Structure 1
Amino acid sequence: MTYREVLDNKSIAVSTSESPDMPGLGLQAEHLRDAMTEIARHTLALGAKLVYGGDLRTDGFSNLLFELAARYRRDTINPRKLGVTNYLAWPVHIRQEPEQLDQASADLEGVAELRLLDINGKDLDLKERHYLKTHQPTEPEWALGLSSMRHKMLAETDARIILGGRVDKFMGDMPGIAEEALYSLQAKQPLYVMGGFGGCARDVAEEIGVLEPNSVREWPGRDKFNSFKGKKLNNGLSAEENRVLASTPHVDQAIVLILRGLTKANLGSQGGMTA
């Protein structure tokens, strides 16, 4: 007999960045990091794998997830079964020297999985990366590389959580959190919109009818959400629970709702005792 946690073998994508609304809400970057920490801590403890598409900045969210993955380190030599997978899109890693990527991968061995992708979203081996010239990516490379990574993440995850998110100074065709949320909606993947930090996540909640519009700001691609107004988020939560999740400033309340939804949504068989 072996024990399985409720979210064993489930991959949860997390999308976040600082929100332009945070100062007006009395929030700082530390509050967003605290929220990410709580999301990661609870989902990792329940056996889930967290999937993030970020760079390797020292103060970035990727490193925060790596620290938590080390705390909840899993007894496995299979990198695909580690607690965190971080995708490096083509325009992100092509700017870095291969030796830097080698060192980052070595530092994360046994803790988190680092996956490099080519411009079309296919896995790229670190050894292959040594044969590619480091360069500053063009705008078309940014757009295609990021979109390809997001399609890859969609195909390999069971649900997505979004919170915060900038709506300007982004790379690609539209804000990153918006594009990732759009792909989840199109695929009917369970989506959890944590809107208490404002930003792109709050805008998405308003655009799909979870919340009443407050002030409509324009950003590329916002109109693409119109067709999802009033549609189910397939996330195991009621309309009222989704409204609370999209509006509450209380992280603890949001975590309870996300975990409730993840355990009720159609993510496959639930945890328990198996022979």
Structure 2
Amino acid sequence: MNYREPLSQKVVAISISESDDLAVRGLADEHLRDAMTEISRHLLAMGARLVYGGDLRDNGYTRLLFELVARHRRDADIGDSRPAFSNYLPWPVHSTKPRAYLSALREDLEGIGELRCLDRDGRDMAENDLVQLSPDDFTDQDWADSLTSMRRTQTEVIDARIVLGGRVTNFKGVMPGIAEETEFALEAQQPLFLLGGFGGCAGDIAADMDLLPRTGKSTAWPGREGFSRWRSMDLANGLLEDEVATLARTVHVDEAVALILRGLLRLQEASA
């Protein structure tokens, strides 16, 4: 990677989590993981830096992105010392981990990516200020405030966001995480790539924006009513209206990757 890569100056956030309705669509968790892997791999190859806000589960998306970026760094002949991947951890997530664990993780990520531990207001915390707490020490309001702050902080540093999947039940925060991240991107008029074909929260949002047919059974979740005011042009992602609709419904990873890169490169050319 070098600064002449087409997307070398772009920071792209990946918003993804498990979908409640994958099985209904004839899909499995592996389809979501494969989609994220291929999208991320192509973005890295084009020079983009990736941002994700998530937990540290052994089988979670954070770990998958760590491994993907590490493999890319090994395989690529690069001279760019900037972190290829930034993982933002909200206060209740990193505070339940021992400081030694976080320090070891940072060492493992050296030269690959960075771990950003945030306080309740979304500000970076120094390693010496990290204090381990019990999960029982955090209220629902602590979670909601911390998650919202983390997502606002992300929005300030990224150039585009890609959204797919997302639970609409059993979530923490004022609304599903995918919804809040999507809302912030729309309000900031940031390029937003919405993949609704994998269902979940992204699928609901795509339907509410009239990019997908509405199903007979619809799940209500906090904040959902606000998305019906947005339309395809509000995504500001460099794609034509029919391309936006195609991306919103496709479950074919190659097609999704091609459309995402097409939109980002068009935006790059327009700003040159």
TM over 0.5: yes
User: What are the residue-to-residue correspondences of 1:91-102 with 2, within 5 Å?
Assistant: 91-102=92-103
1:226, distance to aligned residue in structure 2 (A) = 2.6
**Deviation by residue 1:5-53 (Cα, 9 ceiling, x = unmatched):** 1100210000011111211122111111111110110000000001000
Once the two structures are TM-superposed, the CA of residue 165 in structure 1 deviates from its matched residue by: 0.8
CA distance in 1, matches of 2:25, 2:265: 30
- Counterpart Cα distance in 1 of 2:269 and 2:54: 24
Counterpart check, 1:70 vs 2:70: yes
Q: How does 1:208-227 map to 2 (within 5 A)?
A: 208-215=209-216, 216-227=218-229
State the TM-score, normalizing by the size of structure 1: 0.91
The equivalent residue for 2:91 is: 90
- Structure 1 residue runs of 4+, over 4 Å off? 74-78, 266-270
Q: Does the 8 A contact of 1:162 with 1:193 survive in 2?
A: yes
Q: Give 5+ residue unaligned stretches, structure 1.
A: 271-275
The 1:230/1:123 distance shift into structure 2, 3 A limit, reads same
| Greater mean alpha carbon deviation, residues 206-215 or residues 81-90 | 206-215
Residues 52 and 88, structure 2, Cα contact 8 Å, conserved in 1? yes
Residue identity opposite 1:227 in structure 2: R
Letter aligned with residue 87 of structure 2: N
Q: What is the rounded CA distance, in whole Å, between the counterparts of 1:40 and 1:230 in structure 2?
A: 23
In the alignment, which residue of structure 2 is the partner of 1:55? 55
Q: 1:222/1:186 Cα in 2 relative to 1: closer, same or farther (>3 Å)?
A: same
CA distance in structure 2 between the partners assigned to 1:20 and 1:143 by the alignment: 21
Q: Is the 8 A contact 1:191 1:235 kept in 2?
A: yes
1:135 is matched with 134
* Distance of 1:230 and 1:38 partners within structure 2: 24
1:3–1:143 Cα change, 3 Å = closer
Counterpart of 2:5? 5
Instruction: Name the % identity.
Output: 49
Q: Shift in Å at residue 210 of structure 1?
A: 2.1
Deviation at 1:115, TM superposition (A): 0.6
Distance 1:133 1:110 in 2: 26
Q: Structure 2 vs 1, CA of residues 233 and 267 (structure 1 numbering), >3 Å: closer, same or farther? A: farther
Gaps of 5+ in 2: none
User: TM-score with structure 2 length normalisation?
Assistant: 0.92
Q: Determine the structure 2 residue equivalent to 1:255.
A: 257
CA offsets 1:138-193 (integer angstroms, 9 cap, x no match): 11110000000000000000000001111000000100000000000011000000
Q: Report whether the alignment pairs 1:197 with 2:198.
A: yes
* Alpha-carbon distance between aligned partners in 1 of 2:271 and 2:110, rounded to the nearest angstrom: 29
- 1:106 paired to 2:107: yes
Q: Distance in 2 between matches of 1:36 and 1:108?
A: 20
Give the C-alpha shift of residue 268 in structure 1.
7.7
Q: Is the 8 A contact 1:10 1:267 kept in 2?
A: no
Aligned length: 265
* 1:112-146 deviation digits (Å, cap 9, x = unpaired): 111110100011111221xx342322111100000
Secondary structure of the residue aligned to 2:171 is coil
